[in-house]
Structure 1
Amino acid sequence: MARPKKDGLDYFPFDVDFDTNEKTEAINGEFGAKGTLIFIYLLLAIYRKGYFLQWDELVKNQLANRVPGATGELVEQVVKRLISYGTFNEALFTSDNVLTSQRIQATYLDATKRRKNDKPSLYWINDGINVTSSGVNVDINPQSKVKENKVNKTKTNKNQQKKSSVVAHDTSAFKLWENLWGFPNAIALETLVEWIHEFGDELVSFAIRYAAKRDVKNKGAVNYLTKVLEGYKQKGITTVDEAQAALDKHQQVIASNRSVPNFNKPIEPEPDWFKQQQEQPQTAKPEPNSNPESNSDLAAMFAELEQAKNESKSNSEQKSQ
């Protein structure tokens, strides 16, 4: 009995710098550890099948079930972000919902070079064989020219993204961002590159340092720096010296406003309880023995005692006689 033909791989090479790869770091920065784990499971699913994966709702939900806490929506977002990074071929995904790439196919060829299988052609984008859903070669497939243009366009976009990323990595602004807020996600990286092209590396770096002094967090960095740089643009600030001078002037205005007393501040009215206390008449405390009635009572008491004393003495004298 003939041995069944095997399409997938039992294992595939996994780069030791996968965790520090710019695409992996971008995924991890935007989606966290779940995004990185989804990325790995995507590669496992592709190589298990061979060199491509037909993307549908079933596969999406299976991947979501394999990553704890993930949802189908999160998996979909990670896939679309990887496509925008050039990790997967955008033309094939748009036309046939297929996830693959030249690197994945090259890895598959190297791993199966000892097999006696036919040369792969379905969704193949290496060695001059163009992408087709039926395995037809580019020379005899009239529709493949359109797909070839999509592939070339994707390559061009991918190269542009790589150049932008390399440009950003060599700048002080990018290094400052990475030290303060970690590796920028795709949106932040693209925005950072645009800022550097428009305002220059030094001025963007100055704005980032100013944001750090204001304790701006990662989530609000893009919005905050956008306002700062737009302010520079409106004021015609193009150099670090001009930005520093504008900052010093702004701080002087704030300091002068704090030091000058405000004599025009209205006097607060007296509270009602204070007014009532002032309106009430003050009664003087009576001095001791100042009441004439109490003095007359005291004199009468002493008279009674004196009388009783005389009567007692008179009785004693009569008894003695």
Structure 2
Amino acid sequence: MARPKRNNADYFSHDADMRNDLKIKALRNKFGLDGYAVWCMILEVLTDRDDFEYEWNDLSAELMSADFGIDAGKLRETIEYCIKLNLLELSEGKIFSQKHKDRFDSLLTKRQRDRNRFIVSDNPIQSQVSVSDNPHSKVKYSKVKESIVKYSKEDNNSKSIEDKSSAAEAATLKRGDEFYKILLAFVPTYGKDMLRSFFDYWSEMNKSKTKMRFEIEKTWNLAGRLRTWERNEKKFNKGSQIQQKTTIKDVLSIAGNTMPNKLIQQS
């Protein structure tokens, strides 16, 4: 069973001049630094929640006030004022910021595109890359990794910061395509659902969109990572059946901290 689809994020962009937004100034003027701190923590909570929304009722207000270390009454007053300023919206018992949601459109679009790549037929996949799940694979993954890094050097002549950022993201997406093609050869071994989750996690870009998660690792053994992911997914599924309080992030953390030291060797 594949991991649930992610509809949240690990971080959000904090504008350097956010404090100078007129609505934020009004919030600061009414509640001082406490109001600004509450607003920043609300954004953190929304970022971590599914669909970037937070259920809002008496119980959730008490829980949030305990989390923030603020009086529940003052928290409700702050939330109500944020709704009045249209910083937040309250709909169907949930609070959210539409502007905050819009910031994640590109991230969610990328995740959906990555998932669609693994919607494959039941026919055996023919790949131009011959890969086997053992240390003596004929594919030298380290060499493949070196070959795809060259894309990071493209478009260095962009004249503006925005152009350079777009070029860097485009280069990273190209390397992501190469990474995806490598993983296709493993579909008969691990199945499309597991590989979809594996690719979705390890291809996620950093804040500058210049590297994917797997490119930041000091060592990278693809076959070893896949075996570890498979073991952890079995543990995750087993834990779900007995209703243990194991979170998805715990499983991903285990996979991320297991780093074999040797690359796949050439037979």
TM-score when scaled to structure 1?
Answer: 0.33
Q: Which has the higher contact order (CA 8 A, sep 6+)?
A: 2
Computing the radius of gyration over CA atoms, which structure comes out larger, 1 or 2? 1
TM-score when scaled to structure 2?
Answer: 0.39
